[in-house]
Amino acid sequence: MANKKEGKRWIIKNALLILLFFLVSLIYTYVSEIHITEPHFLFTSIDWAIPLNPPSVIVYLFLFYSFLFFAVLYYATLQRAYFNQLILSLIAVQLIAYVVYILYPVMMIRPYWTPTSIFDWIFWYYVNPQYVYNWMLFNSIQSNSGPFNWILWNIYAHDTPLNCFPSLHAAMSAMIAYGFWQEKQKYGWLSWPIAITIMVSTLLVRQHVIVDEISGALLALLVGYIFYKKVFTTPETPPQKPKLWQLTLVLIVAEIAMILYTYLSYLI
């Protein structure tokens, strides 16, 4: 009887924490409306040299949310001893990022601008030649009706160009990789490359710049260290290794959640 009551308690507790995580995530769309200074730009010459690569949107959108939903469900159900650390770290990372977004808003330069006359060409070439390059990016998306360009254009339409520094894609991906690494270091050989690939994809789809990614990763490492090493302690007895069918079920549920979320948030 005691075990049943304990089981019900952790189900309710984990469900409430997941709900809190998604409620905090919803705040993101409103943060861009609140900022106390004009937007800043953190572009470097290296960022301008990074080419636009529309196929990278598959990693940026679908791999990222698959990684996120799988991790949350995996630790909420199969490795519950580490769930509090992960979910509270993800919540803390978001809240800290929101404060920075309000105090120091950073804006992404997306390929929107297009010249309307020869004077535009001349003016922008001498003021900032990168605006000409920006137009080339804009034209490449508009003139290509392929699926990658269509998905990328939908992301641009739904996601504000503000709220860039630190990158939440970088912070949450690094936080998840750090969590898997803390559970078992050999998991880091898979999770860290996934996190780094997601970070690179944000640069290739023109959603973030290098400084955004570095700051996001450092934020995750700092918050992760606090929650995994100071707030909570690593279990003395490591949890049992999940069975293959359990991992498969969690992966299927995570993929369904990813498809529903990305479709409702970006593709309609």
Q: What is the model's pLDDT at position 25?
A: 94
Task: Name the residue among 184, 172, 164 with its Cα closest to residue 217.
Answer: 172
- Does 254 reside within a domain? yes
Query: Does any domain span residue 71?
Result: yes
189 within domain boundaries? yes
Evaluate whether residue 133 is within a structural domain. no
Q: Please give the pLDDT value at position 5.
A: 64
Query: Going by C-beta distance under 8 Å and a sequence separation of 6 or more, which residues neighbour residue 220?
Result: 89, 93, 170, 171, 172, 173, 174, 175, 178
Residue 5 included in any domain: no
Task: Check: pTM over 0.85? Answer yes or no.
Answer: yes
For residue 239, what are the domain limits? 15-109+147-266
- What's the pLDDT at 89? 97
Structure tokens, 174: 């690094």
Long-range CB contacts (< 8 A, 24+ apart) of 11-18?
14/76, 14/77, 14/80, 14/83, 14/87, 15/76, 17/76, 17/83, 17/84, 17/87, 17/88, 18/72, 18/76, 18/87
Residue 141 domain flag:
no
CA gap 5, 1 in Å, rounded: 6
- pLDDT score at 131: 65
Ramachandran angles phi, psi of 219, nearest 5° = -60, -45
Does 58 fall in a domain? yes
Q: pLDDT truncated to tens, each residue of the chain (268 aa)?
A: 556 666 678 889 999 999 999 999 999 988 878 888 888 889 888 888 888 888 999 999 999 999 999 999 999 999 998 999 999 999 999 999 999 999 999 988 776 655 566 666 666 666 566 666 666 677 777 666 688 888 988 898 888 888 999 999 999 999 999 999 999 889 999 999 999 999 999 999 999 999 999 999 999 999 999 999 999 887 766 677 889 999 999 999 999 999 999 999 988 7
